[in-house]
Amino acid sequence: MGAKAKVVVITGASAGIGKACAEAFARAGYRLALGARRLERLEEVRSTLAQLGAPEVLCVALDVRSEASIEAFAAAVEGRFIHVDLLLNNAGLASGLSSVASGQDVDWQAMIDTNLYGLLRVTRRFLTGMLKRGQGHIINMGSVAGFQTYANGAVYAATKHAVRAISGALRLELNGTAIRVSEIDPGMVETEFSLVRLQDKAKAKAVYSGMTPLSPDDIADCVLFAATRPAHVNIDHILVMPTAQASVYKTHREPT
């Protein structure tokens, strides 16, 4: 089956890395099933994705924190497409920047429900079909925070460590099938991520001051690379950082 017939499901596809990945897969001729809470943002990019080469684009509202929303999304995808070839678990967020001592339940719950439960439930829902077909590919969006921890980021790092654990366990559980499991682990990427976390445009912009961060397109390149390897090749994970970033707590910045 050629790439033009393949179907990719992308969660959190309305902006940032998810949107960039949708554009990359559109250029590669994939059919797209896109989910995000902001359906109007998805609809805004539909024509662009078609112009880039996607033969079919399905946009459906999706909140990965809700089992009912996941089920409605999956039902819509399955109603349009015979099967799903690739699932990109991209939806995720960081909420708040507090120590454990001063952390808020609402922030912790948002990260756990989105980054952990959301990923698990979406994976379970689409994995059923992949197992029946005996083929497929799951790509999870991780983070450098899944390898290193940092002050005031305990819960976010915990969820991304969990993504690594889930990806590793899935590879073991699916060994012997033709289903591949990959993980992309970015460092600093300039998206709405910091704005969502800090709720302040100036503070969010300052996160990337004096250095050149990764762009969403940089991550989309990694995702597409993993997705387009021959069937006998699995990219376990790609840890990708800006040149200026050596770790979660060491980034070189030029004077501004």
| Catalytic center residues | 156
DSSP 254: -
8 Å CB contact between 163 and 119: yes
CA atoms within 13 A on the CB side of 111: 23
8 Å CB contact between 3 and 28: yes
Helix (H) or strand (E) holding 71, with range, is helix 67-80
**What are the two backbone dihedrals, phi and then psi, of residue 166, each rounded to the nearest 5 degrees?**
-65, -45
Please report the beta strands in 4-103, taking only residues with DSSP state E, as ranges in sequence order.
7-11, 31-36, 57-61, 86-89
Distance CA 188, CA 239 (A): 11
The owner of tokens 């998805």 is 42
Distance CA 71, CA 76 (A): 9
Going by C-alpha positions, the residue among 154, 156, 153, 159 that lies closest to residue 140 is 159
